[in-house]
Amino acid sequence: MSSMDFFTAMEVSASGLSAERTRMNIAASNLANAQTTQTAAGGPYRRRDVTLASVDVPGTRNTQFAQAVRGVAVSQISQDATPPRLEYDPGHPQANAQGYVAYPNINPVEEMVDMITASRAYEAGVTSMTTATNMAERALGIGR
Amino acid sequence: MAVDLSTIDTLENALTYHRERHTVLAGNIANLDTPGYRAVDLERRTAGTPGALATTNAAHIPTAPTADFVTSFDDGGALQSFDGNAVSLERELSKIDANRARYATSAELVSRRIAILRYAAGDGT
């Protein structure tokens, strides 16, 4: 018989929820820092980007179809390399010799879209987890 | 008269298959934003396909094909996006719901079958 139970399905869904929450956090952080001109590392804030990768699910034994079951994990959080946006503002304390201030390379619309897609994907993950719970409860009702 | 439990065995295989299929479909949902990920699905092969040993003597015990007769395949039902991801949210969610309904049907049938046996085992009241 199979080694998979409903907990495996819930673990898979949980990995998706956690990945989407990370995307949401990073998008929020990018939005919050859209005007940050000074950071501890020097220079303006740089946009963060989340990369996801599918992973094996621990606990699935090496059955014929175990490789079909894929969880997800954050593989890296990288910094966007695009140059900062320069704005002329000679009175600004961070202005350079030419009077330009370097602002982060962030497009709020792009971040909002990322946030919405992450939120929808999170909802879908909750739905599939709820379905697994319903199915498990259904199984417990057999013979009652 | 022997008690026939084959119906329950068959339904049990169906329950296992739908549970495993749900796990695979949940993986597709989890990978909605994974670059290069393609949606997979499980296919259930019917009994009598390769894997079941032939019985040439009445004393041989037939090998019952189980829910392990399942293969995964690239479902190819979604358009690929810019990052190479090919998972359709609506498609996966409708598959999950249909799969859940089939699971519930099999579970209900097992319950009914057990109820019949219980009725027969009692004095018919």
ipTM of this complex > 0.90? no
Question: SS3 for A105?
Answer: coil
Task: Determine the Cα–Cα distance for residues B73 and B31; give it in Å rounded to an integer.
Answer: 16
Which residues in chain B have their CB less than 8 angstroms from residue A49's CB?
none
The one-character DSSP state at B54 is P
Q: Do A138 and B22 touch (CB under 8 A)?
A: no
Q: Which tokens in the block code for residue A29?
A: 């952080």
Q: Do B19 and A20 touch (CB under 8 A)?
A: no
Q: Which tokens in the block code for residue A37?
A: 């001109």
| Nearby residues of B59 by Cβ (< 8 Å), 6 or more positions away | none
Q: Do A131 and B72 touch (CB under 8 A)?
A: no
Say yes or no to pLDDT of B79 above 60: yes
What is the phi-psi region of residue A103: left when phi exceeds 0, alpha when psi lies from -120 to 50, beta otherwise? beta
pLDDT band at B35 (very low <50, low <70, confident <90, very high): very high
- Chain centre to alpha carbon of residue A120: 12
Find, in chain B, the residue whose alpha carbon is nearest to that of A114. B33
CB contacts < 8 Å between A and B, how many? Answer: 131
Encode pLDDT of B87-107 as tens digits.
Answer: 999 999 999 999 999 999 999
